[in-house]
């Protein structure tokens, strides 16, 4: 039986003698005239413990001039405005442990939840997702930790590197006793203690060619690219594999004072090769620039600090949340966004559509001058430089 419940994340209070304000979030505030206090009483009675008939009886007892129909209409209006939680136990799909552990998540999701839907529905979508993280360095560590906080239960992590003392300024899943161990093993051990319900598949693999990737991402709902080498090439390889498998992916990186990130959903947004082709059309000598960058192959020393890393990976994890719940589109879908660590501003570097002449996802499936640059054999065989 439906028992209306006013969502406790929102306040309701008088801001003047007869003016009642509901909500405390800038994007959800409603002000209502309440001359006799009946609305305040109605809101107070909607605590999730009373059936609608019991609420009607109580309101009518104190305000006999108000009809049953008017009370039902008021309850429905509060529901349509998004101030009520759906508390039908038949719709609850989380176990007791999940309800307690992730109640903060569910409370947050209730802010976006459509009327008459249990917000735990979105938590279940997160827990059922299967995510592959390529790279278990600074980005991969932080994102795995964020995924655990969100409640993702099925994760595949791929890396070949071992823990080094220099990693410990930013790779917070590891400790001094882990030095020399495979990062994937140390990460799995950490998570088994932190979130025992998370099932982690570890793969010890260096990705130095495109053909390795498709089997590694098989069965994933989302791929997170948390590695950047071979520079420029790895993102293209992951892009092609994800397009071929119709698997969305999110990628990010750090460049001293700023981080950047993008989201690709095959068939919905342009892919990474579409971005290069778009840039080729919009930027003079873009092919020359790409050629020079590939030839130089500049791999700088690591400049990531823990605070900066946490900011950019937190933003990327928020994009993961949006994608998994479908409550909102990722802000970086089909875009390359930059986050400035100095002033905390986010800037759109570029945005692109699906390019018909993209050899990876376009309808023409033709070769392209700028894409051919990436496919020279002496680039493809490049090794990964530890940092």
Predicted confidence at residue 211, as pLDDT, reads: 87
- Give per-residue pLDDT as tens, 16-64: 999 999 999 899 999 999 999 999 999 999 999 999 999 999 999 999 9
- List of residues 6+ apart from 68 with CB closer than 8 A: 56, 60
- Domains of the chain, by residue range, sit at 5-85, 89-124, 129-380
How does residue 1 score in pLDDT terms, banded at 50, 70 and 90?
Answer: low
How does residue 365 score in pLDDT terms, banded at 50, 70 and 90?
Answer: low
Distance CA 234, CA 229 (A): 6
Q: Which residue is it, tokens 């099932």?
A: 199
Distance CA 12, CA 20 (A): 7
Predicted confidence at residue 375, as pLDDT, reads: 81
Record the tokens describing residue 305, joined without a space: 């600090």
Predicted confidence at residue 251, as pLDDT, reads: 98
Examine the pLDDT at 382 and tell me if it is beyond 90. no
**CATH assignment of 5-85, among 3.20.19.10, 3.90.930.60, 3.40.190.10, 3.40.50.1100:** 3.90.930.60
Examine the pLDDT at 88 and tell me if it is beyond 70. no
Average pLDDT of every residue of the chain: 94
Examine the pLDDT at 162 and tell me if it is beyond 90. yes
Report, as an integer, the average pLDDT of 174-181: 98
% of the chain exceeding 90 in pLDDT? 83
Examine the pLDDT at 208 and tell me if it is beyond 90. no
- Give per-residue pLDDT as tens, 293-330: 999 888 889 999 999 999 999 999 999 999 999 999 99
- Report the CATH fold assignment for 129-380: Rossmann fold (3.40.50)
Residue 247's closest CA among 183, 372, 156, 368? 156
Q: What is the pTM of this model?
A: 0.94
- List of residues 6+ apart from 149 with CB closer than 8 A: 105, 317
- Name which residue leads in pLDDT, 375 or 152: 152
Predicted confidence at residue 383, as pLDDT, reads: 75
Predicted confidence at residue 86, as pLDDT, reads: 83
Report, as an integer, the average pLDDT of 106-112: 96
Of 229-238, 267-276, 368-377, highest mean pLDDT? 267-276
How does residue 227 score in pLDDT terms, banded at 50, 70 and 90?
Answer: very high
Distance CA 26, CA 165 (A): 45
């Amino acid at each position: 039986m439906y028992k209306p419940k006013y969502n406790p994340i929102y306040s309701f209070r008088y801001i003047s003698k007869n003016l009642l304000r509901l909500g405390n979030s800038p994007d959800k505030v409603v002000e209502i005239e309440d001359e006799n206090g009946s609305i305040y009483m109605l809101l107070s009675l909607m605590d999730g413990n009373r059936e609608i008939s019991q609420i009607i009886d109580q309101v009518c007892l104190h305000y006999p001039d108000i009809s049953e129909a008017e009370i039902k209409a008021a309850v429905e209006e509060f529901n349509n405005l998004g101030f009520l939680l759906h508390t039908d136990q038949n719709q609850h799909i989380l176990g007791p442990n999940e309800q307690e552990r992730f109640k903060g998540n569910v409370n947050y999701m209730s802010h976006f939840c459509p009327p008459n839907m249990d917000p735990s529905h979105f938590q279940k979508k997160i827990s059922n997702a299967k995510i592959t993280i390529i790279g278990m360095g600074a980005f991969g560590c932080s994102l795995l930790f964020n995924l655990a906080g969100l409640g993702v239960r099925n994760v595949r992590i791929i890396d070949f590197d071992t823990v080094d003392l220099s990693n410990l300024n930013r790779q917070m899943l590891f400790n001094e006793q882990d030095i020399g161990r495979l990062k994937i093993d140390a990460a799995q051990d950490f998570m088994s203690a932190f979130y025992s319900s998370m099932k982690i598949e570890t793969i010890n693999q260096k990705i130095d060619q495109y053909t390795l990737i498709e089997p590694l991402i098989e069965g994933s709902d989302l791929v997170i690219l948390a590695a950047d080498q071979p520079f420029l090439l790895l993102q293209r390889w992951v892009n092609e594999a994800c397009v071929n498998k119709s698997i969305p992916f999110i990628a990010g990186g750090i460049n001293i004072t700023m981080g950047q990130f993008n989201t690709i959903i095959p068939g919905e947004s342009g892919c990474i090769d579409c971005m290069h082709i778009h840039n080729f059309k919009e930027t003079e000598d873009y092919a020359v620039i790409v050629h020079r960058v590939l030839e130089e192959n500049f791999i700088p020393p690591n400049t990531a600090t823990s605070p900066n890393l946490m900011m950019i990976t937190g933003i990327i994890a928020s994009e993961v949340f949006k994608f998994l719940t479908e409550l909102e589109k990722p802000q970086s879908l089909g875009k390359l966004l930059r986050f400035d660590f100095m002033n905390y501003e986010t800037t759109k570097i570029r945005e692109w559509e699906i390019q018909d002449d993209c050899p990876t996802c376009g309808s023409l499936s033709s070769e392209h001058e700028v894409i051919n640059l990436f496919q020279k054999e002496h680039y493809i065989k490049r090794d990964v430089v530890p940092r």
